[in-house]
Amino acid sequence: MSSRDESKYLLPQNPRYQAAVSSLIVSAVFWAVVGLLLAVQFYHLKVTDERRSRKLEALRHVYQTSGADESLAEEIRQLDVHYRRDHLARLQFLYRGSGLFVLFGAVFVGTILWVRSFHQKPPHPEPLEDRTTAQIQAARRTRWAVSAGTAVLASAVLFWSFQGSQTPQESAGAEDSSESRPAFASWEQMNQNWPVFRGPQGAGICPFDNIPTEWDGASGKNIRWKVPVELPGHNSPVVWENRIFLTGADAKRQEVYCFNAEDGTLLWTGQVPLAPAAQREEMTIMEDTGYAASTAAVNGVFVAAIFADGQVGCFDFDGRRQWVRSLGVPASAYGYASSLTVYENRLIIQFDQDYEPGRSKLIALDITTGQTLWERERPVPNSWTSPTVVEWGGQMQILTSGSPWLIAYDATDGRELWRLDCLGGDVAPTQIAAAGRIFAVHPYTHLAAVRPPQAPAEQMQAELLWKAEGSIPDICSPVSDGRLVWTVDSEGVLECFDVQDGSRLYSQDLQAVFQASPVLVGDILYLLSTKGRMILVKAARTFEQIGQNELPESFTASPAFAPGRIYLRGSRHLYCIENRR
Amino acid sequence: MNPPPSELLSRRRFLKDGLWTVSLAAAGAAVAALASRSRAKEWVWQIDPYKCIGCGRCATHCVLSESAVKCVHAFEMCGYCDLCTGYFSPDPKALQTGAEHQLCPTGAIRRRFIEEPYFEFTIDESRCIGCGKCVVGCAAFGNGSLFLQIRHDRCLNCNECAIGRVCPSEAIVRVPASSPYLLKVRNP
Amino acid sequence: MGLILSAAAVQAAQRFPPPQFETDYQMPTLTTPPPRAAVWELVDVGVLAAALGLAAWLIFRKRSRHGIAALSIFSLLYFGFWRKGCICSVGSLGNVVLSLFDSSYVLPLTAAAFFLLPILFALFFGRVFCGAVCPLGAIQDWVVFRPLAVPAWLETTFRLGAWLYLAAAVLFAAVGAGLLICRYDPFIAFFRLGFNTPLWLLGLLFLGLGVFIARPYCRFVCPYGLLLRQAGRLSFWHVRITPDECIQCRLCEDACPFGAIQPPTAPWPESMRPAERRRLVFLSGLLLVLMGLGGWLGYRVHAGLAAGHPTVELARQVRLRQAGLMTEPTDTVRAFEVSGRTLQSLWNQEAAVFQRFAWGGIAAGIFVGFVAGVKLIQMSIHFKRTDYEADRAGCLACGRCFAFCPRQRIWEAGKQTGSGEKQ
Amino acid sequence: MSRHLPKQTAKADGGLVAVFLAVTAFGAGFLAYWFVDRRFVRQNVPRAYRYSIEELTTIEPSLLIYRQSRPPIETGLLEAVALDVDSDGAVWAAGDRKILRFASDGRKDTEISLPSKPTAVKAADGVLYVAMTDQIETYSPAGERLSAWAPVQTALFTSIAVGPEDVFAADAVGKVIHRFDKQGNALGRLGQKNPSRGIEGFVIPSPYFDVLIAHDGLLRVNNPGRQRIEAYTFDGHLEWHWGIPSVKLEGFSGCCNPIALAQLPDGTFVTGEKGLVRVKVYDDHGRLLGVVAGPQQLGWKGPVRVCETPEECGSRGLDVAADGQGRIYVLEQVRNTILIFEKNG
């Protein structure tokens, strides 16, 4: 023992020790190299060979479907042999290599043991402490630890039992499902759903019946279900038949959620990757906009979403991601907030930016592929309004608000149809179309009624009919039933104007703060305050409040509707409200 | 009050011995019970060819890097077709053996002319990866003479078959090792 | 997993004859390479029994760590790399449970032997299986380079995880949802030398951890080890650190990398007695509460657990498909659709699985609650020890501590010089 | 002998070890769940390993010139093999050692028991010709056996055609057409391979071999292995043939199609294909006139069937027949039902 102890001081000179250490290093290097080679070959097996077989498959398909081409056939044959040889060689390598890996691992372990045999330390018990106290303490500590462990385990299990039913839907099956189906639903179907921000044509008019007028968050009355939404976002739900879509994001993740409308289960979560970190540093994120202010759009087959960093992602209804586009982080003073809209297979993005002229654009992407179909430069600075697609005299038009222009584009090819100088400031409320007019908002200043050119034959000149002043909103969009038009500003002042001449019929302080835009259901206005109070006002020339309902959460997203149901996205939950029979 | 230590010790010893005897008896009973339930019968995994839908997972999910599942050919069921739909991709340009006409991703099927109008198709197992593409082709149009089987010279007979776990039609079943194949035709 | 099908059920359907060939073509026959011959299974059992006997002999008669180490290498090579990790005693637990609950599954003799032999040996000799025969243990045993002392409270608490795993493994095997122990066997990927599963990572993780925390799988995961622990508690002979008498030299205090050496107990103050009694009464009550709580929690999560059953998964997917929420059917749904099975039969099957999981969940929950409660009671009972002893439950019979005992050296010297009458 | 002491356990801070253990436990759990259980296990199968013919199963609606005009007839048979429609419009279905007669309103009104499994049925001139593997028997419509012809060694009759004086039976095993007189005396065989007469021979890989006597007095026989229909005189002269192999609509798909044949009153032909199940109408020179039913109309679920027993997977084709009004009857052998189609408009 003692001689070994002394020899420890001479270890570096001991040739046996040196031999042990060098074999340790050599075996470690060998081991690592084999491991690395295995990993590389494994990668090739999984990625390269997979890609190659897909390529070969594609070539075979081309050969079978196009005119006969002997050179292509020859190429296929050669590639086939080449790829197959590589693949088999890789399999062999992996099999033998993993044997080598284990073998070198064993050698490595052996050399460690060898080296270690030079570093022995005789046992050296420390002074004996008070055993009685130590053992009593140890027993007590174990009791507490086991209790704590049991408690942690039990609460984890309990927590899971609440989560258990919400398993995300797997997206198995063939990868290509979109090709044989049409890429969009019809205009009629779009109007039978709630496909974009503020519903069909972005008008904020609910076409459905049996919408509840009474509910209560505290007692759960008429709350069909309530489910948590993982990541925050100011965007509103969009609805297609029995699916509800919304998005959420924080500094690390950007996600699209699809919920089952029947019971609120999360069907899938789609991920949209972040823009490069360097770009994201330039983002403006304010509390009022956040990372996910833009409402998603759905066209009956796909759902697309855009986030504050200019990343656009598209998914099919089973949650398979179709494509992702990076438009670049938009330069927006308060953060990007325009919602998407969609016309047939065209995904319309109002991408207004500040600082340099020529940066603001209206972009149409092919929703099936993510390719740009067309792009129009816009002579406006950053805005926070959303484009809307409306039908006007048989023509589909995209309406946009910016400062100072209200511009209409042809929804098919993006041709500019007309423009009118009637706006200004930091425009956020979205224009609406009603009674053959367009109502657009110059925040804090005026509500403008515009008569668009009636037919393409006309001189394509829009006409400003009137401007009405009052408590003009800065965030919430107007709503109209064709006879009257209402606005509500953030401070809670509800204004009612006559569509004909813009005369103000009433102005009523609702004593609440609003960020969500109002929706007209039949002859009732639904106004959702940030505190979760939904105020119901009769759509009439005089003010008459006919009810109010409370939910215990804050709300900034505009409500979405489906037959018999309201979907409300709060700061933490998604609610479904339905009359209980 | 307290019994003397020696007595305590012996009581403890008695308890302990008793416990040991009881547990040994229990273990004995368990042995007897298990032995009476168990038989000199081993199980192996096999694919029920009438349940297999040819999804391709046999090629990707076996624990072996080269799957233990291979395609086998029941020659007695084969129509010896010239246009074999298990061999050729749909609508082949020519009925020739070039890789461009073949369905098999590894070219594991050999086609041999026998006599007008018959061709023989045999599986080269060293190439076959068990994807079942030919199985689908043959079953969809032809007689279904090609089907997948677990080859027991390769199968490690894992306690839980990794392919069986992901088989969409639960076609992988335990069969007695004495009759380890589920063939579509009885072997002579 | 999978129905058991008698071979007679699948046989040739009435068949249309192949063409009559004019040439003398001979139709090849289908080759059917047989599985491993049954005699080899018996050989495995024999090797297991011999290895167990040898381990007991080495640890009790030879008291040789070197012998144990050599045997562990043999076991690693034979049961691990040669037999590719199947069948192993740890996984045979699943087969035993399956045979108890699935009447169509007959337990193979080999599986029964692999399950029982180590337990029987443990009843006589302690956990000699763990020390030298188990390939999973052996592979971890060779990477114990820098063992850290895991305090008793931590070890006991983390072992709860193993109990939970045992409960889950038994539950899943009993309801026919798969053999979890085999599915997550972390070293199986090494044994099979196939670089194609993520289990490689799991194995490397356990080995990496094993450098610092000796044999982590055995101590904190292995469900079969828990059975052997209980058998080891009752063992007739048990591993002793010293060949003859303990001289209280304390040199072995830090010798065990598994924390299985227990120092002599000190007398407990008489004054604590009444408090201890009260605590025992309280903990006995708590045991019942924990069992109840466990049962309740088990019931609560049974639906979540049932999601791991293939039938429930199929039903979930079919339901999505029915609701129009799955536009492109998965292979599972497609297979269901072509099978012509009725929806009602699927719902019935699903309900039956849920039923089984409900009862199983309750039982598993009660069991885990019972274990936690018993652990608490155990910690409140004062066991007496006068010497440094190997913990009968925790000792893995590796023989590392022998080298630390001065009496061992004397004993060995005596054996070398004399005739060994010292024994 | 030097002694190697194993490494002694180092003292460590319990809390740190706890954190270390917890983190690895979490890592192991994550690995096990995510990589072993979810990602790795549920990943998609590479496309190159899958054979998908699903895209071929949709048929342009404008090509579907027929629609189901009546509710299908559930035969109730376990294994229906053949059908025929007689001049009264009654439907005869054979299978399971039985012949069933369904009146034109779909009600079953007669059931005839047979000594063995039928393989073909033909109702002509008030007589029922029933083939049972290698033998033909005749029955009265009431079910009375009229005659039993001498069996033909090794034959498997899968179709019968009845002319004014002759009876033809298609033998799928012998790959020939047998010609009989009405008393069952063998008159000859036709269709054997005979290069000098330009006959390549029938290729019948599965028991689907159909023969009929067309309005022009010639025989029409399907030759599935060559994907065509051949026209023969009663004496066995091959007159012409038509049909091309293709999965496209105008061709016959797969290795061995068409499998069934019928003639409509206007002289056009109805063909049935298995695999990619299709029933189509062609003129007498192979020009596609329209589609009666495609896979979607015929309940096609996928290329491969899944069965509890091999017997269920045994028969899976179809048989076609036409009545005097131009209605098309399709016996669908998977569900053993008879679908009735009528021309649109």
Percent of chain D topping pLDDT 70: 94
Instruction: Report CB contact under 8 Å: B91, D226.
Output: no
**A222: left (phi > 0), else alpha (psi -120 to 50), else beta?**
left
pLDDT level of residue A457 (50, 70, 90 thresholds) = very low
- Confirm or reject contact between D38 and chain B (CB < 8 A): no
Residue ranges in chain B modelled with pLDDT below 50 = 1-3
**Residue-level pLDDT at C16:** 82
Contacts of B139 in chain D (CB under 8 A): 303-305
Q: Return all residues near A369 (Cβ < 8 A) that are at least 6 apart.
A: A322, A323
**Residue-level pLDDT at C368:** 95
Return residues 157-176 of A near D (CB < 8 Å).
170, 172-175
**Residue-level pLDDT at D56:** 82
| Of residues D200 and A461, more confidently modeled | D200
Return residues 278-297 of C near A (CB < 8 Å).
290, 293-294, 297
Contacts of C156 in chain A (CB under 8 A): 142, 145-146
Percent of chain D topping pLDDT 90: 59
- Confirm or reject contact between B124 and chain A (CB < 8 A): no
Contacts of C11 in chain B (CB under 8 A): 186
Instruction: Report CB contact under 8 Å: A77, B98.
Output: yes
Contacts of A243 in chain C (CB under 8 A): 325
Where b means 16+ CB within 10 Å and e means fewer, A198-230 reads bbbbbbbbbebeebbbebebeeeebbbbbbebe
Look at residue D286 and give its three-state secondary structure: coil
- Flag whether pLDDT at A6 surpasses 70: no
Give residue A574's Cα distance to chain centre: 15
Nearest residue on chain B to A54, alpha-carbon basis: B105
**Residue-level pLDDT at C80:** 93
Return residues 28-47 of A near C (CB < 8 Å).
38, 41-42, 45
Nearest residue on chain C to D35, alpha-carbon basis: C198
Token digits for C404? 């630390």
Span C202-228, pLDDT tens digits: 899 999 999 999 999 999 999 999 999
Chain A: nearest CA to D52, how far in angstroms? Answer: 9
Look at residue A482 and give its three-state secondary structure: coil
**Residue-level pLDDT at C423:** 39
ipTM exceeds 0.90, yes or no: no
Span C114-138, pLDDT tens digits: 999 999 999 899 999 999 999 999 9
pLDDT level of residue A232 (50, 70, 90 thresholds) = very high
CB nearest D225 (choices: B105, B117, B139): B117
Contacts of A91 in chain B (CB under 8 A): 65-66
Given CATH 2.40.128.30, say whether it is the number of domain A187-578.
no
Span D105-160, pLDDT tens digits: 889 999 999 999 999 999 998 999 999 999 999 999 999 999 999 999 889 999 99
Span D289-331, pLDDT tens digits: 999 999 988 888 888 888 776 766 765 789 999 999 999 999 9
pLDDT level of residue A508 (50, 70, 90 thresholds) = very high
Span C88-116, pLDDT tens digits: 999 999 999 999 898 788 899 899 999 99
Instruction: Report CB contact under 8 Å: D55, A180.
Output: yes
CB nearest D10 (choices: C148, C199, C220): C148
Instruction: Report CB contact under 8 Å: A68, B93.
Output: yes
**Residue-level pLDDT at C322:** 81
Span A315-341, pLDDT tens digits: 988 888 888 888 888 988 888 999 999
Q: Which of D3, D21, D116, D226 to mutate to test the interface with C (most CBs of C within 10 A)?
A: D21
Contacts of B89 in chain A (CB under 8 A): 60, 64
pLDDT level of residue C8 (50, 70, 90 thresholds) = very low
Averaged over A277-293, what is the pLDDT?
A: 83
Is A385:A336 a contact under the CB 8 Å cutoff?
no
pLDDT level of residue A459 (50, 70, 90 thresholds) = low
Contacts of B78 in chain D (CB under 8 A): 205
| Of residues C198 and A294, more confidently modeled | A294
Distances in whole angstroms, Cα of residue C131 to Cα of each of C51, C265, C272, D5: 11, 26, 39, 17
Give the H or E element holding residue B23. Answer: helix B5-37
Helix axes C89-101, C152-175, angle to 10 degrees: 40
Return residues 121-140 of D near B (CB < 8 Å).
none
**Residue-level pLDDT at D319:** 94
Nearest residue on chain B to D249, alpha-carbon basis: B91
- Confirm or reject contact between A60 and chain B (CB < 8 A): yes
CB nearest A54 (choices: D4, D5, D48): D48
**Residue-level pLDDT at A171:** 33
Token digits for A118? 């030079």
Residue in the structure block whose two tokens are 């939950």: A573
Chain C: nearest CA to B102, how far in angstroms? Answer: 23
Sorted by where each begins, the domain ranges of chain A are 2-116, 187-578
Chain B: nearest CA to D123, how far in angstroms? Answer: 30
Q: What is the mean pLDDT of chain C?
A: 88
- Flag whether pLDDT at D188 surpasses 90: yes
Chain B: nearest CA to A547, how far in angstroms? Answer: 54
One-letter amino acid of C403: A
pLDDT level of residue A581 (50, 70, 90 thresholds) = low
**Residue-level pLDDT at A62:** 84
Distances in whole angstroms, Cα of residue D329 to Cα of each of A411, D93, D105, D160, D279: 50, 11, 13, 17, 10
Chains in contact with D via at least 3 Cβ–Cβ pairs below 8 Å: A, B, C
> In 3D, which of A552, A487, A553 has the Cα closest to residue A520?
A487
Chain D: nearest CA to A79, how far in angstroms? Answer: 15
Token digits for C81? 């790399």
Instruction: Report CB contact under 8 Å: A98, C194.
Output: yes
- DSSP E strand boundaries for B6-152: 43-47, 69-73, 109-115, 118-123, 146-150
Averaged over C237-252, what is the pLDDT?
A: 89
Return residues 350-379 of C near A (CB < 8 Å).
368, 372, 375-376, 379
**A312: left (phi > 0), else alpha (psi -120 to 50), else beta?**
beta
**Residue-level pLDDT at A346:** 92
| Of residues D220 and A283, more confidently modeled | D220
Nearest residue on chain B to D47, alpha-carbon basis: B56
**Residue-level pLDDT at A42:** 87
Chains in contact with B via at least 3 Cβ–Cβ pairs below 8 Å: A, C, D
Sorted by where each begins, the domain ranges of chain B are 1-38, 43-176
Token digits for A491? 């401070």
Token digits for B135? 């199985």
**Residue-level pLDDT at C55:** 96
Strands A205-206 and A519-521 come out as parallel
**Residue-level pLDDT at A3:** 45
Instruction: Report CB contact under 8 Å: A73, B107.
Output: no
How many whole angstroms separate alpha carbon B103 and alpha carbon A53?
12
**Residue-level pLDDT at A162:** 78
| Of residues B25 and D242, more confidently modeled | D242
pLDDT level of residue A173 (50, 70, 90 thresholds) = very low
Averaged over A253-275, what is the pLDDT?
A: 89
Q: Return all residues near A551 (Cβ < 8 A) that are at least 6 apart.
A: A215, A217, A532, A533, A534, A568, A570, A575
**Residue-level pLDDT at A182:** 64
How many whole angstroms separate alpha carbon D224 and alpha carbon D253?
10
How many whole angstroms separate alpha carbon D209 and alpha carbon D223?
7
Distances in whole angstroms, Cα of residue A243 to Cα of each of A144, A301, A306: 48, 11, 19
> In 3D, which of C148, C166, C165, C176 has the Cα closest to residue C310?
C176
- Flag whether pLDDT at C320 surpasses 60: yes
- Confirm or reject contact between B34 and chain A (CB < 8 A): no
- Flag whether pLDDT at C182 surpasses 60: yes
Token digits for A313? 């992602």
Residue D297 has φ and ψ, to the nearest 5°, of -75, -25
- Confirm or reject contact between A94 and chain B (CB < 8 A): yes
- Confirm or reject contact between B156 and chain A (CB < 8 A): no
